[in-house]
A and B are shown apart, each in its own frame.
Chain A
């Protein structure tokens, strides 16, 4: 059985991964590093949630994967964004915008 996940967090993770991949193909470890670095260590992606998410996205056709050679000469699986993934990224970004705006509205209501 899949671990019960918070829907919001799951969607957010997909968004973050897609955005990371928008810059070019990265392997799994690279994705965690990038997110950790850019969020100034605030967001740490657990491997336990990253890989199921990556495989789900691969199934949905948002990313494609292939084996390559990493920086330290190891074999690693590199993920890249597909055209469908790019479309999905724009969708998700829009949704995120709307969501944050909505939350802001609710919070600012006196």
Chain B
């Protein structure tokens, strides 16, 4: 029986047992028939036939065992032999294992990052139904623009494909209850926010519609971590008042541990009291998250939002002309910037693993030539070629498994080092911890099997094709391996090509990175001081040239998009007034200003109306 048949046999025990049963029964019946024909009475015929079988169970067991025991026996012998061979050449074994460990370890580490950020679904209920909706403008070539409050309200009221929709506005606040005020990053959200994500609170409740009404909006929800860190995890926190920007807010809920929103490291949530009043009429600064209705596809939702976008541009043409709405799945949106770099990184370490495999294959080939004698003797003693191949392959498998173990250790260290490099407040797309979990281990195991086939098979096939005559003769170590030269050359060429590819790629990446960190943002973020009071930071940005002065009005929070547009407009020098973008950069993260203003222009930011000072 071939190896395939035997493996299938092990898996197919039931069917084979049935077949054996049938075979033995047929034998029995035939003997009974013969006995009857010879004149025995029926009972005796059957009794005699049965007796000949003896203990049928034992018989069946013995027959079955022959298959499996043989195979296990042979495999155990192969493993023992392989271990002995590997131990005899310790330096080769060490180098091979080390090479594999680096390759497999790097892949494991990068894959765990890729898995945590790109592959795992977001930690909300039915996360593939969540989308982000942006405003898109053809004129300004912006596909993901922040949203105007009136537009958001229109979207919410008129869309038919979305189950729920919520608006988000970032804020930086000062909390104080008893003791020192601390600055925390927060989110102002419309009350539907938590029902869009469908995460129940750990304590208390999430926002209800009344919380979104101006005047009733002095409620706040905390993260679990903030609650533990700042308020000692005291369950009496519910209902008590804390001061947010010097205004008392009642704590109504605490979210579960680990709850977060992509790219925004917020610790408190306060309601956004949107209404169709003048206060909310202008400006674009909200981000929107929504949940698709069950059964609605992304394309359908996009078509629906185009329709709603048409409605808004007809309702307020001076503001919304040529603007529309753009629906993007949430995971895709959150991982937008990092997706390509991460896949490129994974491909790079994949190449690294291929180089490692080529290396080890080379080593195996070279070592193999020294063992030709032994293989020839085995072949002469009657070992089938498949047996030789199996033996060599077991060695490769053992090497890979050892490489996998060492690699996991390297990956663990490497991952910790990598994660330590990430700055504390970086806006990560996902905040779930990146660890080596079951999915990553499965990937590692499969990668290990793949590498063992890759570097083990070719040498095994080559070496087992032994020319008995030549190999057994004295001093014929070269004779049987003439063909190896070309294979080895191919390996070397492949390795050099891949290594060159990786080096060039790494060099380019380093250059880009160096250039990135040396960009001057145009102001120094570290000297900006956060607002010390007042819920509505007000400040103005003044740009003046010899002939004109442009001043922005202010609003609640900043969006870098608007700021960029302001800068672009300034550089055109052609307008006397421009739409009121307003926004003041929050300290974290700072927006990117153009690094150079056009000549004769000066830029200054100053506080007005006394509520808050944001001086840079």
Q: Which residues of A contact B (CB under 8 A)?
A: 1-3, 27-29, 33, 46-48, 51-52, 55-56, 58-59, 61, 70, 72, 74-77
CB neighbours of A33 from chain B (8 A): 34
- Pairwise interchain contact B62-A48, C-beta atoms closer than 8 A: yes
Give B19's nearest chain A residue, CB to CB: A77
CB neighbours of B19 from chain A (8 A): 77
CB neighbours of A51 from chain B (8 A): 20, 23-24, 59, 62-63
CB distance from A79 to the nearest CB of B (A): 10
Q: Which residues of B contact A (CB under 8 A)?
A: 1, 6, 19-20, 22-24, 26-27, 29-31, 33-34, 52-55, 58-59, 62-63, 65-67, 69-70
- Pairwise interchain contact B55-A55, C-beta atoms closer than 8 A: no
CB distance from A32 to the nearest CB of B (A): 8
CB distance from B492 to the nearest CB of A (A): 40
- Pairwise interchain contact B27-A59, C-beta atoms closer than 8 A: no
Give B69's nearest chain A residue, CB to CB: A2
- Pairwise interchain contact B30-A72, C-beta atoms closer than 8 A: yes
CB distance from B604 to the nearest CB of A (A): 90
How far, in whole Å, are A12 and B295 apart by their CA atoms in the complex?
73
- Pairwise interchain contact B66-A2, C-beta atoms closer than 8 A: yes
CB distance from A64 to the nearest CB of B (A): 9
CB neighbours of A56 from chain B (8 A): 66, 70
- Pairwise interchain contact B63-A46, C-beta atoms closer than 8 A: no
- Pairwise interchain contact B63-A55, C-beta atoms closer than 8 A: yes
- Pairwise interchain contact A29-B1, C-beta atoms closer than 8 A: no
- Pairwise interchain contact A48-B59, C-beta atoms closer than 8 A: yes
CB distance from B157 to the nearest CB of A (A): 73
Given contacts A3-B62, A76-B23, contact A48 B70 (CB under 8 A): no
Which listed residue (A2, A28, A58) contacts B1, Cβ 8 A? A58
Given contacts A46-B52, A55-B66, A56-B66, contact A28 B27 (CB under 8 A): yes
Which listed residue (B26, B53, B62) contacts A70, Cβ 8 A? B26
7 cross-chain pairs, A with B, having the tightest CB-CB distances, nearest first: A29-B27, A76-B26, A29-B30, A77-B23, A52-B62, A51-B63, A47-B53
What are 24 contact pairs spanning A and B, CB under 8 A? A3-B58, A27-B26, A27-B27, A27-B30, A29-B26, A33-B34, A47-B24, A47-B59, A48-B54, A48-B55, A51-B20, A51-B59, A51-B63, A52-B59, A52-B62, A52-B66, A59-B6, A59-B66, A59-B70, A70-B30, A72-B29, A75-B26, A76-B30, A77-B23
CB neighbours of B63 from chain A (8 A): 51-52, 55
CB neighbours of A59 from chain B (8 A): 1, 6, 66-67, 70
CB neighbours of A47 from chain B (8 A): 24, 27, 52-54, 59
How far, in whole Å, are A64 and B128 apart by their CA atoms in the complex?
55
- Pairwise interchain contact B24-A74, C-beta atoms closer than 8 A: no
CB neighbours of B29 from chain A (8 A): 72, 74
CB neighbours of B69 from chain A (8 A): 2
Give A45's nearest chain B residue, CB to CB: B52
How far, in whole Å, are A18 and B253 apart by their CA atoms in the complex?
84
How far, in whole Å, are A77 and B59 apart by their CA atoms in the complex?
17
Given contacts A48-B58, A59-B1, contact A29 B66 (CB under 8 A): no
Given contacts A2-B62, A47-B54, A48-B62, contact A55 B67 (CB under 8 A): yes
CB neighbours of B26 from chain A (8 A): 27, 29, 70, 74-77
